[in-house]
Every structure is written in structure tokens, then in C-alpha cells.
Amino acid sequence: MPDVRLTILAVLLAAGLAAAPAEDVRAMMLQARALQLRGGGSNPAAAAALYKRVATLVPESAEAHLRLSEALQEAQDMEAALPPARRAAALAPKHAEARAHLGLLLFQLAPKNPARLAEAARELRVAAGLLPQDPELWARLGEASEQLKDNEGALRAWLRLGRLRPGFMAAWERAAIHARALQNYEGRREAVLALNARTPDDRHLRMLEDLAREQIQAGYLAHAEEAFLLLARHLPGEAALWENVALVRHQTSRFAEALESLDRAEAIKPTSRTSFNIAHALMNLGRFQEAEIRLAGLLAGKIEEAPIADGSQALYAEALLLQGKGGALLAYLKDHPGRPRQAGELQMFTCQALISRNDWKSALAALKEGIARFPKVPFFQQAAELPPEFLEYRFFSRKGTRAALERLHLEGMAAIWSEFQRWDKCLEALEKARTLGPTRGVDILIMQSAAYDHLGRHEDSLRVMREAQKAAPDNPMVQNNLGYLLLEREQDLEEAAALIEASAKATPDNGNVVDSLGWVQFKLGRTAEAEATLRRAAELSPFSPEVRKHLGEVLVKQGKLAEAAEQWERALAFVFPDRPALEKRLGELRIRLAKEQAGKVEDPQAPVPEPDDDDGEDRL
């Protein structure tokens, strides 16, 4: 506590002590202060006697009652110290030192009288609001809250103490325990990261690993990457950690960064899985020849894991097709037929390779076999819809058959290009396919619209979705996609609402559609309705950053700023393209919240209630 010897007169005057003989009061206060232990003296009992005289002379002086209580506490007369402490707090509800002294005193007395613990926690909470930088207040509040089985209060206190004293591991450990019990994700994350910030022990590292794996399962990819990177910093020789970092980066389309992490993992411990993931990253970076070479080497050896073996074969086929190496693919598939579970996919690749080489008869035979054996494969479903005459390679139908097969191949290639987000190549294939005949299904139109949209050609994207609407007006995906395009461009909100409402009616459990519905309701000014709808969308798609972002916008509009910040914080646990913009907005919202909460403490002016015990010790 601060030494007030030099300012005691000003305090006394401000407290109304001038009504008493000023010289006597000042002299007694200074003399008493000198006798206190905290004043450098050795006779707190004598100090208490002087303070009692001052309190009698000026009974409305909070300062006199506070110092009297301090002196009695120093003299080990705790029970007698309590009434003047309560009186000081009642006289000056915003006197931080008085509230802190009362809270700490009550906490000290609580072991002998547990009924006082709740009052202690209440006073400590107020005092901590008035003196938020005092670590002792937060520590005692944490302990009191734990004894009262108030996990929420304990978590808040230990987190605040940890932030004030980042190196105090006990605070973070206790915060982590309470956060886990409460299933408070943000509190647990903060505590576990703090425990591992410097030189963690094995127990703390295990806590971080558990957190990272749960973040992956929950879809909190940005947070999972943060946790795995921290683990890798402490355990740089663990290849699996670098691979986990890479997988998060791959899932969030940051393929160059993923490749860098995979290279580090492979340098530590080469595995088939790592090699496959490197090839996949290379494919997404458009480095198809490098991916082909790596996959060829991988397939030439023995791959223990069946999913890696199957994935490598399919990825190798796509690498060859995307490079126009149909002949090499056919030669490979002839000697490596693959496992039965892959047969349908490899049959599709065979058809595409044959068509790419203009081997029409063989392609048609392979296509018929695929239609018969693999009717659920989308490629063969589309082939089955071809006119019957195109499935017979006769003189009068050869031209139509060739055009139909080439269009089928181009649409299949467009799907592969879209898989690797090469929207320019995807669009090129689709536009060429459309020159060979009319598009049969809306799925192709939806893909073409998406390609236009990704390339920034929004009017073309909308035009193609209008075409899809004309072809299939009741298709829920068409309704939602078209409605959302209109909504984002604010071209016709009423039509957008009608389309999205129809889609939501047909697919009520589709989180993306329900999100679209809530967003269009918000745009139309139906804020309360939008909030209810977006809460439903959050239930259906709890790991969608878009849903959380939209819900936050609605909550801001309604003035529910704290909950809006919480929703945006949850959105930022994911990774998405406009994340920096949301981080900026969340920062601005936090500043706004802090300004609104500045100076607010828990009932600082409320009178201190009478204690539950009836021993009368508050009366002198």
C-alpha cells in the first residue's frame, strides 16, 4: 500500500477533519502512523489507540477508520479490525485501498468463520475492479472463488493474475483446470499457450498437444496451427509436428507454406505419407512434373498404408492427365490395375486418357464398361445420359459420338482443374466443352459460375446461374447460389430472399443455406429474425467462420457487443480469405467495449451489507 505520511494533512482536510482541532488531529494521525509497523514503528497497539481517538473526533473519516483497522490487524487483533474496515468501506465506496483492505481482511478471517468467505469474495471483486493491477487481489479472489465452488469466478481471477504475472505458472495451471472443467475453450487455450510460452515441462507439452488435436477435430485450424508451431518450436526434431503444421496449411490453401513445413518433416524422417503430401502440395502449386516424378518414385516402392497407396495412384493419374500424357497413363494403368475399391475411379481415368488420344473406339468400349460396372460414379452417370446413338460408333453417328466423348472428357478435366483451384484452366475446358454441344446438367453450370466468380467475372457468373435457374428452377443449390450472388451484389434483395427461402425450405438442415437466409434477412432489416436464423445456422455449421462472422454483424447491430466479439473471436479460430479485415474490426470492437466498461466496477457505491453473523462486532 502507498505511504501517505507526506499527504496525510490533505487527506484529513478532504475527509472533513477540519471541524476538529486541526493541529491535534494531524499530530495524532502522524504520531499513529509512525507507530504502525508499515510506518516503520513497532507499537501498532498504541497506534490503534490514537486512531480510535481520531475516529471519535471525526467519525465520518474513512481514512481514520481504515488506519485504525490496519493498526489492529498489525497488532494481531483481527476480529477487532473488521468493524472499522467495514466502516471505512461504507463511508468511501470508491476508496480502492479501503475496499482492498476489507476484502483481504475478510479472506484472512474466513478460515475461522466460513460464512465470511462470500463477503470476502464480493469485496475482493470490487477491490480488483478498482485496483486491476494488484496481483494479490486477483490471487486471493481466485482462492476465495475456488473455496466457494465458483469456477467461473476462479477462472476469471487466475486468468487476470496470469496476464499480470505471465511467469507465474501456478496461475495459468489453475486457470487451465477451471477452463477445462467449464469447457471454456478460450480460457483453456490462453492458459495452455501461456504454460508453454517459455520452457515448458513434459506435462505442459502434453496439455498443448491435447489442445492442438482437439482444435483439429473442432475445425479451429488457425488455432491448431498456432499450437503445433509452438510444439514444434519446443520439439524441433519431431517430424510429425511439422507434418501437422503442413496439413493445416494445406487445408487452408497455403500450399507454399505447407510445402516448406513438409520439407522440414521429410528432412527429419522421410515417410510415404510425407512424400504423398509433398506431391499433393506440388500439384496445388501447379508443379505437375515435379509431382509426377515424386509420385512415380513413391509408387515404385512399397507403401504400407492402403489410403496412401490408393491416393498416390489417383494423384499420379491426375498429374499425367493434366500434363496431356494420356499414353503414359494408359501404359501405367495396364501394369498397375489398382485395388478393387479404386476400380471405378481408374476406369474413369482410362476413358479420359483414351479420349485425349482420340482413340474413339477404345474409349467408347471403356465407357460402356464403366456405365455397366460403376453406375454411381458421376462421370459414368453423365455418360449414361448421352443419346443412345452416340454410344454406338457407326458411320452416321461418328461425328456426334466424338463430340459427345470430347465434351465428357473436357467436363471431367474441368472438375480436376477445379480440384486444384486452377480456375482459369477449369473455365477454358468448360467453355470449349460448350462449343461441342449443350450442357446437360446444372452441376456443370454451377461449376462454370464458380469459375467465373473466382476469376472476378461476376456478371458472367450471374449470367450462367440465370441459365442454371432456367434449366432447373426448383434446384435448391441453384436457388441458394443465385440468391447469394444477388445478395452479395445487392442487385435485387427481394428476389434473393425469395430464392434463398425456397432453398431453405427444401433443405432446412443445410447450414450454408440457413446462413444465406439469415444474411438476407439482415440485409432486409429483419434483424431479430436474422439473429434467430443465424443462431440456427451456427448450430448446423458450428465450425463455419462465415456463419460466425455474419452472426457477429447482427449482434453488433443490436448492440450486443460482448457477444458479437465472442462470435468474431470464434470465427478467427478458423482460416479464411478475409480474416485480416475481421481481425481489424474485432480490434476496433474491443476498443469500443473497453471504453464502455472503463470505470465500471461491481457496485462500488453500494452500501456494504450487514454480515450474516450476528455477533455484533461491527458496533463499537
Interatomic CA distance for residues 309 and 311, integer angstroms: 6
Per the model's pLDDT, the better-predicted residue between 619 and 92 turns out to be: 92
Count CB atoms within 10 A of the CB of residue 454: 16
Interatomic CA distance for residues 292 and 571, integer angstroms: 37
* DSSP annotation of 18: G
Residues near 150 by Cβ (< 8 Å), separated by ≥ 6? Answer: 121
pLDDT at 596: 78
Interatomic CA distance for residues 611 and 153, integer angstroms: 21
pLDDT tens profile 62-73? 999 999 999 999
pLDDT at 600 over 80: no
Among 109-113, 341-345, 392-396, 548-552, whose mean pLDDT is lowest? Answer: 392-396
Please check whether residue 150 lies inside any domain of the structure.
no
pLDDT at 390: 76
Q: Kindly report the CA angle at 127 between 122 and 133, in degrees rounded to 5?
A: 135
SS3 385: coil
Please check whether residue 557 lies inside any domain of the structure.
yes
Query: At 461, is the pLDDT very low, low, confident or very high (cuts 50, 70, 90)?
Result: very high
pLDDT tens profile 249-293? 998 889 999 999 999 999 999 999 999 999 999 999 999 999 999
* DSSP annotation of 490: T
Interatomic CA distance for residues 380 and 558, integer angstroms: 51
For 115-170, give the DSSP string: GGHHHHHHHHHHHHHHSTT-HHHHHHHHHHHHHTT-HHHHHHHHHHHHHHSTT-HH
Interatomic CA distance for residues 135 and 600, integer angstroms: 19
Query: At 324, is the pLDDT very low, low, confident or very high (cuts 50, 70, 90)?
Result: very high
pLDDT at 494 over 80: yes
Residue in this structure with the C-alpha cell 495459468, named with its chain if needed: 172
pLDDT at 200 over 60: yes
Q: Which three cell numbers stand for residue 295?
A: 509420385
Percentage of residues in the chain having pLDDT higher than 90: 76
Interatomic CA distance for residues 601 and 293, integer angstroms: 66
For 439-461, give the DSSP string: ---HHHHHHHHHHHHHTT-HHHH
pLDDT at 607: 40
Q: Helix crossing, 561-571 with 545-557: angle to 10°? A: 170
Interatomic CA distance for residues 394 and 389, integer angstroms: 8
* Exposed / middle / buried, residue 578 (Cβ in 10 Å: 0-12, 13-18, 19+): exposed
Q: Helix crossing, 151-164 with 135-147: angle to 10°? A: 160
Mean pLDDT over 193-203 rounds to 95
pLDDT tens profile 370-381? 999 999 999 999
Interatomic CA distance for residues 110 and 597, integer angstroms: 31
Residue type, 383: A
Q: Which three cell numbers stand for residue 255?
A: 500450399
pLDDT at 394: 65
Interatomic CA distance for residues 251 and 257, integer angstroms: 11
Distance of CA 536 to the CA centre of its chain: 18
Query: At 21, is the pLDDT very low, low, confident or very high (cuts 50, 70, 90)?
Result: very low
Interatomic CA distance for residues 191 and 8, integer angstroms: 42
Please check whether residue 59 lies inside any domain of the structure.
no
The mean of the pLDDT values for the chain is 89
Please check whether residue 383 lies inside any domain of the structure.
no
- Domain CATH for 587: 1.25.40.10
pLDDT tens profile 522-533? 999 999 999 999
pLDDT at 89 over 70: yes
Mean pLDDT over 427-435 rounds to 95
Please check whether residue 517 lies inside any domain of the structure.
yes
Counts for the chain of helices (H) and strands (E), in that order: 33, 0
pLDDT at 413: 96
pLDDT tens profile 571-593? 888 766 778 889 999 999 988 88
Instruction: Evaluate whether 480 touches 516 at the Cβ level (below 8 Å).
Output: yes
Nearest-CA neighbor of 32 among 61, 1, 5? 5
Please check whether residue 422 lies inside any domain of the structure.
no
pLDDT at 217: 86
Helices (H), 252-377: 255-268, 272-284, 288-300, 306-322, 326-335, 343-356, 360-373
Mean pLDDT over 130-158 rounds to 96
The tally of domains found in the chain comes to 1
Query: At 606, is the pLDDT very low, low, confident or very high (cuts 50, 70, 90)?
Result: very low
Which residues in 160-173 are b (16+ Cβ under 10 Å) and which e? bbbbbeeeebebbb
Nearest-CA neighbor of 515 among 489, 541, 493, 497? 541
Interatomic CA distance for residues 552 and 573, integer angstroms: 14
* Most confident range, picked from 161-175, 392-406, 574-588: 161-175
* DSSP annotation of 231: H
Interatomic CA distance for residues 123 and 109, integer angstroms: 13
Interatomic CA distance for residues 56 and 381, integer angstroms: 97
Please check whether residue 158 lies inside any domain of the structure.
no
Residues near 353 by Cβ (< 8 Å), separated by ≥ 6? Answer: 320, 321, 326, 327, 329, 330, 333
Residues near 514 by Cβ (< 8 Å), separated by ≥ 6? Answer: 504, 508, 533, 534, 536, 537, 540, 541
pLDDT at 598: 64
Residue 411 CA: distances (Å) to CA of 260, 283, 343, 372, 399: 33, 19, 20, 21, 18
* DSSP annotation of 474: T
Please check whether residue 452 lies inside any domain of the structure.
no
Run of H or E including 614: none
Interatomic CA distance for residues 618 and 620, integer angstroms: 7
Interatomic CA distance for residues 377 and 379, integer angstroms: 6
pLDDT tens profile 306-318? 999 999 999 999 9
Per the model's pLDDT, the better-predicted residue between 243 and 9 turns out to be: 243
pLDDT at 393: 66
Interatomic CA distance for residues 239 and 264, integer angstroms: 7
Domain ranges, residue 532: 510-598
Instruction: Evaluate whether 533 touches 513 at the Cβ level (below 8 Å).
Output: no
pLDDT at 274: 96
pLDDT at 8 over 70: no
Interatomic CA distance for residues 324 and 355, integer angstroms: 11
pLDDT at 221: 86
